């Protein structure tokens, strides 16, 4: 009988669906396992061959866990709000809801063809009002707890999408999504106070099992730094406060720099003599992105403020104040003390403007460059600090600053509050009403969901107003507080909103009175294993940890962290090693692969393609190799024997493979797990036969990778029940040791023969075997053995003369 993958795959997919095989039970007495992959954005392009890589990986984990006796939740859904759908809808004059439904149907069919063990009864969609009701509810809780606020903000504005972007969405100075130019704009925006959670978002990383690169990049993004705030008096009679990580270098502060947006410029305008020059510089700076402005290598520009000087508090010296765009208003206090001898940017600036450079930490060569090392230097030219190390000097100066009321220790974070408004149609309406009398008033919870209204046209306005603002019947309402006339918020939420809590909804997806029942959350959480893209590390992963912590604080969930374990997969590239794209003509369509080779081959290949954590190029030859492997597994039926033809070699090979596959799955080494099963198959074919029991074991091991063919073979062999109801095999460590090993026999270091010996053979036994060997005898004819070298398990070498 031929391996008819088409018939087999559709047969088992139907059976699984009918039997609801992968339905997670809310049976709280069983040990649970919650496996999660990032739900896709159902784009018009359909599934990419990159999608199944993480889905299959955690499908393997889920299937293994079921065989290990766990009640497994492995859900899937749709992250369906967002710009691409809206843009498509606008271009083609179709409502985004219709576009979404069509895309979801297509994605679902494609995903289902792969035989993934998702519990489809828990499918969710972020654009479903029954779902976004709870997204809005969470927003209201944030608002009620002072964590959502509206403020005038200098925001990132994508000139092509006509939309505000979060800092996280600006990559290398351009729009993460479309690559369009990003400029600054002052706009009134809803913001979420993620900064309030900055410290906890760092600290609690200690309690979770995330791959190291994810932890590191989250920490860098949050960017905790410790230092001091120091007050400098100015000749204008006020004070300029700076943030510095190097208060030890105060004696070397030879000038100050404030950001072009610093309020002092406005407040002291009447004292500033070169206001025209300053204004021109401010205008030029406003056009640049923070990214451009903070580049280390860029030429330093600036203008000295004429008419006001600052006084260095440690030596009462008057120093000049500059404005320069390398100082950002959004970090620290927007003002710095410049220490050119020990800071690279200050050094470049001082050289450009011919400012004094005073060495205060000895150990470098400040004629050539700034000396920034703080581990080895010794303080000089610094009065009371002379002779101290940098660390000692920091402590001493901070104590002195505090005593004299000039400064205090300070911790700063790079993390900014989350810009939460979007001026687009296809998102969750922000459930807030603005009343002249009462200010911002939440929409009453019993009125949720606040439905996204029907609109004629979804075009955003050029001045950046949401399309919803054009709909008077939506905008005009009454104040829930005083009953007077009021206006609705017309901004919508960013795409990151729905995905910030979706893993909670899966626990209890149809609940109408809460985002999920408490018992369901307590049982399923935390997610035991979450796999997703590295690109989401500082976006979705951080946002969802923030929301989860907030929900923990208000008692909705009982654990501090949403995900116990986080891993990440590499991309699948085209055959040419480049990213797959239409323009490069190297796109592989998953439907074609499933059609031609079957889902099991596709799954197996995606796991065999390379190290799961690294990018890997697609190779059709290797895909065919995986198909051949399954053909051979199929053909083993011909050599299965009823009894137990005992072979110590196969027995040990089986135990080794069980161990290897079991461990490799846990360690993301799916490719080497498959290689181990391929090696086992070779051993079996060398042996020429295998027992039914050994076949059964191989089928169970292979089942998570290739679930359809293994179920079919299991049935054909007449075993009891279904394969997915069996137990994951265990192994005997002692039997994992190879029964025999191959050793080489040499004469004067040259290989003469290779023979199999008992793995535990002694040196004497090995030497005796070598002497009996025909080839060895020929090579040594007429000669004397002068030395015998024997390495157990490896080789015998005779030195002859």
The footprint of ligand ANZ (CB under 6 A) covers 225, 243-246, 249, 327-328, 331-332, 334, 336-337, 339, 342-343, 412
Residues in contact with Zn ion, counted by CB under 5 A, come to a total of: 6
- Cβ-based neighbour number of residue 388 at 10 Å: 19
Q: Minimum distance between the CB of residue 479 and Zn ion, rounded to whole angstroms? A: 3
Burial state string for 760-770 with b = 16 or more CB within 10 A and e = fewer than 16:
ebeeeebbebb
Q: Minimum distance between the CB of residue 148 and Zn ion, rounded to whole angstroms? A: 19
Q: Which does 438 bind (CB under 5 to 8 A by kind): Zn ion, ligand ANZ, none?
A: Zn ion
Q: Minimum distance between the CB of residue 342 and ligand ANZ, rounded to whole angstroms? A: 3
For Zn ion, the closer of residues 432 and 604 by Cβ is 432
Only one of the segments 376-384, 387-395, 477-485, 751-759 lies at the binding site for Zn ion (rule: CB under 5 A); that segment is 477-485
For ligand ANZ, the closer of residues 361 and 776 by Cβ is 361
Task: Report whether 78 contacts 104 (CB < 8 A).
Answer: yes
Decide: helix, strand or coil at residue 170. strand
Residue 336 to residue 347: CA distance in whole angstroms: 13
DSSP codes of every residue in 128-169: SHHHHHHHHHHHHHHHHTT-EEEEEEEEEEETTTTEEE-GGG
Structure tokens given for 382: 């610094």
For ligand ANZ, the closer of residues 90 and 311 by Cβ is 311
For ligand ANZ, the closer of residues 339 and 709 by Cβ is 339
* 179 φ/ψ sector (left φ>0, alpha ψ -120 to 50, else beta): left
DSSP H or E segment with residue 315: none
Residues in the chain: 801
Structure tokens given for 157: 């504005």
Q: Minimum distance between the CB of residue 473 and Zn ion, rounded to whole angstroms? A: 19
For Cα atoms 640, 643, 644, give the angle at the middle one, nearest 5 degrees: 90
Residues contacting residue 344 through CB under 8 Å, at least 6 positions apart:
296, 369, 370, 372
For Zn ion, the closer of residues 484 and 793 by Cβ is 484
Task: Assess 479 for contact with Zn ion (CB under 5 A).
Answer: yes
Beta strand spans in 722-794 (E): 740-747, 750-758, 785-791
705-724 mask for Zn ion (x: CB under 5 A)?
--------------------
For ligand ANZ, the closer of residues 21 and 225 by Cβ is 225
Q: Minimum distance between the CB of residue 331 and ligand ANZ, rounded to whole angstroms? A: 4
Q: Which does 481 bind (CB under 5 to 8 A by kind): ligand ANZ, Zn ion, none?
A: Zn ion
Of the candidates 503, 610, 614, 495, the one whose C-alpha atom is nearest the C-alpha of residue 561 is 503
Residue 95 to residue 180: CA distance in whole angstroms: 25
Q: Minimum distance between the CB of residue 538 and ligand ANZ, rounded to whole angstroms? A: 16
Q: Which does 791 bind (CB under 5 to 8 A by kind): Zn ion, ligand ANZ, none?
A: none
Q: Minimum distance between the CB of residue 491 and Zn ion, rounded to whole angstroms? A: 20
Task: Assess 477 for contact with Zn ion (CB under 5 A).
Answer: no
Decide: helix, strand or coil at residue 601. helix
Only one of the segments 284-292, 461-469, 482-490, 671-679 lies at the binding site for Zn ion (rule: CB under 5 A); that segment is 482-490
For Zn ion, the closer of residues 341 and 433 by Cβ is 433
Q: Which does 332 bind (CB under 5 to 8 A by kind): Zn ion, ligand ANZ, none?
A: ligand ANZ
Task: Report whether 58 contacts 35 (CB < 8 A).
Answer: yes
Q: Which does 274 bind (CB under 5 to 8 A by kind): ligand ANZ, Zn ion, none?
A: none
Q: Which does 479 bind (CB under 5 to 8 A by kind): Zn ion, ligand ANZ, none?
A: Zn ion
**Tokens 């089942």, located at residue:** 703
Contacting Zn ion (CB under 5 A), which of 384, 451, 482, 716?
A: 482
Of the candidates 418, 417, 429, 419, the one whose C-alpha atom is nearest the C-alpha of residue 81 is 429
Burial state string for 677-700 with b = 16 or more CB within 10 A and e = fewer than 16:
bbebbebbeeeeebbeebbbbbbb
Q: Which does 331 bind (CB under 5 to 8 A by kind): Zn ion, ligand ANZ, none?
A: ligand ANZ
For ligand ANZ, the closer of residues 73 and 230 by Cβ is 230
Task: Assess 481 for contact with Zn ion (CB under 5 A).
Answer: yes
518 is in an annotated binding site: no
For ligand ANZ, the closer of residues 232 and 331 by Cβ is 331
φ/ψ of residue 723, rounded to 5: -60, -40
For ligand ANZ, the closer of residues 224 and 579 by Cβ is 224
Q: Minimum distance between the CB of residue 312 and ligand ANZ, rounded to whole angstroms? A: 12
Decide: helix, strand or coil at residue 360. coil
400-439 mask for Zn ion (x: CB under 5 A)?
-----------------------------------x-xx-
Of the candidates 118, 120, 100, the one whose C-alpha atom is nearest the C-alpha of residue 63 is 118
For ligand ANZ, the closer of residues 336 and 580 by Cβ is 336
Sheet containing 432-435: order of strands:
439-442, 432-435, 485-488, 476-478
Q: Minimum distance between the CB of residue 437 and Zn ion, rounded to whole angstroms? A: 4
Task: Report whether 99 contacts 691 (CB < 8 A).
Answer: no
Q: Which does 244 bind (CB under 5 to 8 A by kind): ligand ANZ, Zn ion, none?
A: ligand ANZ
* 555 φ/ψ sector (left φ>0, alpha ψ -120 to 50, else beta): left
Q: Minimum distance between the CB of residue 431 and Zn ion, rounded to whole angstroms? A: 15
Residue 630 to residue 712: CA distance in whole angstroms: 12
Q: Which does 225 bind (CB under 5 to 8 A by kind): Zn ion, ligand ANZ, none?
A: ligand ANZ
Q: Which does 431 bind (CB under 5 to 8 A by kind): Zn ion, ligand ANZ, none?
A: none
**Which residues are annotated binding-site positions for ATP?**
582
> Which residues here bind Zn ion, judged by CB under 5 A?
435, 437-438, 479, 481-482
Point out the annotated binding site: 582
């Amino acid at each position: 009988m031929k391996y008819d993958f088409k018939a087999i795959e559709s047969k088992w997919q139907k059976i699984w669906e009918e039997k609801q095989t992968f339905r997670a039970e809310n049976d709280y007495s069983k040990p649970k396992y919650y496996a999660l992959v990032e739900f896709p954005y159902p784009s018009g392009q359909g599934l990419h061959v990159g999608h199944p890589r993480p889905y299959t990986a955690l499908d393997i984990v889920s299937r293994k866990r079921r065989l290990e006796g766990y009640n497994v939740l492995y859900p899937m859904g749709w992250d369906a709000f967002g710009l691409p759908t809206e843009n498509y809808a606008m271009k083609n004059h179709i409502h985004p809801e219709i576009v979404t439904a069509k895309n979801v149907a297509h994605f679902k069919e494609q995903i289902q063809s792969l035989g993934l063990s998702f519990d489809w009864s828990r499918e969710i969609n972020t654009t479903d009002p029954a779902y976004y009701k709870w997204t809005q509810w969470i927003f209201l809780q944030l608002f009620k707890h002072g964590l959502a606020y509206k403020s005038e903000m200098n925001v990132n504005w994508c000139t092509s999408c006509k939309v505000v972007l979060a800092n996280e969405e600006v990559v290398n100075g351009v729009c993460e999504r479309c690559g369009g130019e990003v400029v600054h704009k002052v706009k009134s925006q809803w913001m979420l106070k993620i900064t309030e959670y900055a410290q906890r978002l760092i600290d609690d990383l200690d309690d979770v099992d995330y791959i190291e690169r994810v932890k590191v990049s989250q920490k860098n993004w949050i960017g905790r730094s410790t230092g001091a705030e120091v007050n400098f008096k100015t000749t204008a009679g006020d004070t300029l406060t700076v943030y510095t990580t190097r208060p030890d270098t105060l004696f070397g502060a030879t000038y100050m720099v404030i950001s072009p947006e610093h309020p002092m410029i406005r407040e002291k305008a009447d004292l500033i003599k070169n206001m025209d020059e300053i204004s021109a510089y401010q205008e030029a700076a406003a056009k640049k992105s923070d990214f451009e402005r903070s580049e280390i290598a860029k030429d330093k520009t600036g203008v000295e403020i004429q008419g006001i000087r600052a006084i260095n508090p440690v030596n009462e010296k008057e120093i000049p104040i500059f404005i320069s765009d390398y100082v950002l208003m959004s970090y620290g206090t927007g003002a710095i003390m410049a220490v050119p001898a020990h800071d690279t940017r200050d050094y470049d600036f001082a050289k450009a403007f011919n400012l004094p450079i005073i060495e205060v930490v000895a150990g470098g060569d400040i004629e050539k460059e700034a000396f920034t090392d703080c581990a080895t230097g010794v303080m000089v030219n610094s009065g009371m600090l002379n002779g101290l190390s940098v660390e000692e000097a920091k402590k001493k100066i901070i104590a002195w600053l505090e005593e004299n009321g000039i400064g205090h220790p300070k911790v700063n974070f790079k993390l900014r509050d989350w810009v939460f408004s979007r001026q687009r149609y296809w998102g969750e309406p922000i459930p807030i009403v603005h009343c002249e009398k009462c200010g911002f008033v939440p929409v009453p919870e019993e009125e949720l969901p606040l439905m996204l209204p029907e609109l004629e046209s979804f075009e955003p306005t050029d001045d950046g107003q949401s399309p919803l603002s054009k709909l008077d019947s939506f905008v005009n309402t009454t104040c829930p507080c005083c009953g007077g006339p009021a206006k609705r918020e017309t901004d919508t939420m960013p795409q990151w909103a729905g995905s910030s809590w979706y893993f909670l909804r899966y626990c209890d997806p149809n609940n109408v009175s809460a985002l999920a029942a408490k018992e369901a959350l307590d049982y399923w959480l935390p997610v035991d294993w979450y796999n997703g893209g590295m690109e989401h590390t500082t976006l979705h992963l951080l946002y969802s940890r923030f929301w989860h912590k907030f929900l923990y604080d208000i008692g909705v969930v009982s654990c501090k962290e949403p995900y116990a374990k986080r891993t990440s997969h590499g991309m699948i590239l085209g055959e040419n090693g480049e990213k797959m794209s239409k323009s490069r003509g190297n796109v592989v369509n998953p439907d074609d692969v499933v059609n031609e080779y079957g889902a099991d081959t596709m799954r197996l290949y995606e796991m065999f393609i390379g190290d799961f954590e690294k990018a890997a190029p697609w190779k059709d030859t290797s895909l065919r190799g995986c198909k051949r492997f399954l053909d051979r597994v199929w053909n083993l039926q011909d050599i299965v024997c009823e009894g137990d033809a005992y072979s110590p070699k196969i027995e040990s090979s089986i135990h080794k493979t069980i161990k290897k596959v079991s461990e490799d799955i846990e360690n993301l080494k799916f490719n080497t797990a498959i290689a181990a099963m391929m090696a086992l198959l070779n051993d079996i074919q060398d042996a020429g036969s295998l027992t039914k029991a050994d076949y059964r074991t191989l089928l169970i091991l292979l089942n998570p990778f290739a679930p359809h063919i293994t179920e079919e073979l299991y049935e054909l062999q007449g075993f009891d029940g279904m394969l997915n109801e069996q137990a994951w095999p265990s192994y005997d460590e002692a039997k994992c040791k190879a029964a025999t090993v191959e050793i080489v026999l040499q004469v004067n270091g040259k290989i003469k023969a290779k023979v199999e010996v008992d793995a535990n053979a002694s040196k004497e036994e090995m030497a005796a075997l070598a002497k009996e060997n025909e080839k060895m005898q020929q090579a040594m004819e007429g000669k004397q053995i002068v030395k015998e070298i024997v390495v157990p398990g490896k080789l015998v070498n005779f030195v002859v003369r």
